[in-house]
Amino acid sequence: MRYIGNSFGVLVCSVLLAVSSLVPTVAYAQNQDKIEPQEYYLEGLRHYNEGNWSTSRELFVMAIGADPANDAAYYYLGLSYIQLGDLQAAEAYLVKAQEKDPSNFWYKVKLAELYAQTNQVDKAITTYEGITRDHPQKHSVFYDIIDLYTASQQYDKALETLDKIESLKGENELTGEARYELLLRQGNYQGALTHLEDYYRKYPAPRVALILGDLNKSMYRDTLAIRYYNEALEMDPGFTPADFGLAEVYRTNVNFKEFFPHIYRFLGDPKMNVSIKTRYMKEVIITPHFVRQYMDKVDHMVNSIISAHPQDTSALYMGGAYFLQTGRDTTGKLLFKGAVEAYPEDHKANMEYISLLYYLKDWEELAIQTENTLHYFPEDKSFLEILPIAYWQSGDTDKAIEQYNTLIKNLTPKDTIAYTYYASLGDLYHDKGDSKKAYSYYRKALKHKPDYNPVLNNFAYYLCLEGKDLKKAAKMSLKTIESEPDNPTYLDTYAWILFQLGEYNEAKSHIKRAMFYGGNEDATLLDHYAEILFALKEYDLAFIYWEQADKKDPTLGIGKKIAERKGQLKK
């Protein structure tokens, strides 16, 4: 018995599968001598359609072994191999199926598709050409071969195939646009335009009018472009791509009175791709000059996108960034927060909002948000490390200390970051006024990283302020300026320690260097410089720098100091 080929077998497959539940599962491993070849085939079909492709492969192999003439078994064996990812084996069996039944349309189509999938373009084209020759009534195949001709730049053959389609089915919007694209690819721009204009006269449609508008706009024929865009909108008032075309013509001609109404319609259309809109806003519209001149209208554009895509993160981030850049932090922050509220389990949304809060120094909100985020990402190191900073900066030093101690407890032998936690604990305890614990943690930090400049500097400076271990403080501070000789903070610390040691001239030399590298913006450093100058009896210059320091930070009480020092001089 010859098995039914796919030309008919595929049609009856669903009927066979419908009754397959009534057929007992074949014990093919134990009773092969008692099983009819057809049963292997039918069981293979059942397993294939249930997604058991390894089993269907075995059954189709047995079906072929029992009846080598079974073309359908070869075909479905090839399909099983496709599902299993072995495309080389799939090709071999699909070729075999076609050899067994050369007239079968589906065998040839599947083989042609596989050739195209595996980038065997020449084989795919040859196979499709045979199909179109043997089955001219199968119109769908013609579009596949046009795609292949286009991919291999055989535009003449693609156009010939398009002629065949139109001779069989007539001209339509799809073939009209396809011919236009092919003529463009050929470089026949005038031919493409002439064809499209002729086609539009016969079959006017909004999309074709849009293409003609775009084409004329690219050729700087603005009057014609506007005409076609308007005709598209007359045919379909909701066809907002034509609004975008009009908006761009008006924008390039600096006609913003006409530009804004059309761009609002396009940006506010939820059917239009949001990424196109946000990219347009970033690249074309949001420039400082344009925003300054039309801020209220740009606000409307941004809000149109957000209203059309209220839960799209790209729209929210674009809008948030815009309002932040234009000094409206509260609105910008709310949009970033909206992304987190819409997608609380999205890592990027959380990180974007937390990063923004950190940048804005909104420490209390940062602490709250980081706590919320850690419910979803409890093991995320970056969020765990941000939390104590948020507590610290918002004034809750006890919670910050607790969080750093938790981080230290969870350190693994591979972690090399312990010294930063100890350093932060040292600073926190110093803020609490507990120097003993602060210095203990500084020592722990330096034990892990002896050359860690922030700890060396702070440890040395706080010792100096207390007048303790000044020589030890000087050694630590000297290390910092040897490794970072242009750091004004480190230079100031070293100069102040030298001042406390009575080495005024050397102190002046280092603090002048600190001034040169930006220290003149720091009120405390200016105060230190004035003290050193006063000790060196350079009184006039000292008072100049004290006055500068007082202007920069009146809370330091330098005005009172000035009065006291002037009183000393009078005495």
Sign, CA dihedral 309-313-316-321, equals: negative
The single-letter code of the amino acid at 299 is D
In a domain, 556, yes or no: yes
If you ran DSSP here, which 8-state letter would residue 70 be given? Answer: -
In a domain, 522, yes or no: yes
Half-sphere exposure of 341 (CA within 13 A, CB side): 9
In a domain, 518, yes or no: yes
- Rounded Cα distance between 444 and 425, Å, is 10
Residue listed under structure tokens 């008692």: 34
- Rounded Cα distance between 267 and 276, Å, is 10
In a domain, 422, yes or no: no
Domain count, the chain: 1
Among the listed residues 453, 433, 460, 455, the one whose alpha carbon sits nearest the alpha carbon of residue 444? 455
- Along the 571 residues of the chain, how does pLDDT read in single tens digits? 233 333 323 333 333 333 333 233 344 444 444 556 678 999 999 999 999 999 999 999 999 998 899 999 999 999 999 999 999 999 999 999 999 999 898 998 899 889 888 988 888 888 888 888 888 777 678 778 788 888 888 888 888 878 887 777 777 777 877 888 888 888 888 888 888 898 899 889 999 999 999 989 988 999 999 999 999 999 999 999 999 999 999 999 999 999 999 999 999 999 999 999 999 998 877 788 899 899 999 999 999 999 999 999 999 999 999 999 999 999 999 999 999 999 999 999 999 999 999 999 999 999 999 999 999 999 999 999 999 999 999 999 999 999 999 999 998 888 889 999 999 999 999 999 999 999 999 999 999 999 999 999 999 999 999 999 999 999 999 999 999 999 999 999 999 999 999 999 999 999 999 999 998 999 999 999 999 999 999 999 999 999 999 999 999 999 999 999 999 888 7
- Rounded Cα distance between 74 and 71, Å, is 5
In a domain, 305, yes or no: no
Does residue 452 contact residue 423 with C-beta atoms inside 8 Å? Answer: yes
Domain that holds residue 502: 479-571
pLDDT tens by residue, 295-321: 999 999 999 999 999 999 999 999 999
- Rounded Cα distance between 489 and 487, Å, is 6
- Rounded Cα distance between 116 and 110, Å, is 10
- Rounded Cα distance between 132 and 124, Å, is 12
Residues near 61 by Cβ (< 8 Å), separated by ≥ 6? 77
CATH of the domain at 548: 1.25.40.10
If you ran DSSP here, which 8-state letter would residue 284 be given? Answer: I
- Rounded Cα distance between 142 and 64, Å, is 33
Angle at 300 between CA 298 and CA 302, to 5 degrees: 70
Please give the structure tokens belonging to residue 36. Answer: 């009819």
Does residue 464 contact residue 500 with C-beta atoms inside 8 Å? Answer: yes
- What's this model's pTM, rounded to 2 decimal places? 0.69
- Rounded Cα distance between 457 and 495, Å, is 12
Does residue 256 contact residue 250 with C-beta atoms inside 8 Å? Answer: yes
Element (H, E) at 209: helix 206-218
In a domain, 354, yes or no: no
Other CB atoms within 10 Å distance of the CB of residue 485: 12
- Rounded Cα distance between 83 and 284, Å, is 46
Give the gyration radius of the chain's Cα atoms. Answer: 39
Does residue 493 contact residue 464 with C-beta atoms inside 8 Å? Answer: yes
- Rounded Cα distance between 254 and 496, Å, is 61
Phi/psi of residue 451, each to 5°?
-105, 25
Crossing angle, helix 206-218 and helix 222-235, to 10 degrees?
A: 170
Does residue 305 contact residue 315 with C-beta atoms inside 8 Å? Answer: yes
The single-letter code of the amino acid at 86 is D
In a domain, 283, yes or no: no
Residues near 364 by Cβ (< 8 Å), separated by ≥ 6? 390, 394
In a domain, 37, yes or no: no
